[in-house]
A = this chain, B = another copy of it.
Amino acid sequence: MTSLQRVAGRPTWALGRAHARAQGLLGEAFAAAGVRGYHYRLLAALDEHGPCSQADLGRATGIDRSDVVAVLDDLVAWRMARRDPDPSDRRRNVVTLTGAGARRLTELDRVLDDVQEAVLAPLTAAERRTLLALLAKLS
């Protein structure tokens, strides 16, 4: 929060505040589920793209491949994903979603849905559509 005139009404600030609130709720919800955003994104990519290399995961999620390593370490330790050497290209690992990972992903999908609802709660359905449309134009 800030009480600065110069800052308070600025679009960048309003955007930042709204984002901070959304991110705060999302972070709390994920933390309560024992994961971070990166874990969810990787699980989602594994589900949507099927088994693939770590580099592929990075490209699919927008996560730097150096960051994929540690996050995947977690998922593997939690038995939510497997990391096997690719027999057809020894540079690569084939990353596979496990049953436990798929189940966890389903739970996290609901967590994410609930957060969307909580974030948008102050808006009517029409306002939500308008906001989404305007935000889309910005990027």
Residues of A within 8 A of B (CB): 1-7, 9-12, 14-23, 26, 41, 44-45, 47-48, 60-62, 109, 112, 115-116, 119-120, 122-123, 127-128, 130-132, 134-139
Contact = CB atoms under 8 A, between A and B. Distances in A.
Contacts of A122: 137-138
Contact of A135 (B6, B14, B128, B136): B14
A10 B139 contact: no
A21 B19 CA distance: 12
Per assembly, the copies of the chain total 2
Nearest to A4: B44
A53 to B, nearest CB: 15
B115 A4 contact: no
Given A12-B115, A15-B18, A132-B14, A6 B138 contact: no
A61 B15 CA distance: 17
A6 B134 contact: no
A11 B119 contact: yes
Nearest to A134: B131
B22 A120 contact: no
B62 A1 contact: yes
B60 A3 contact: yes
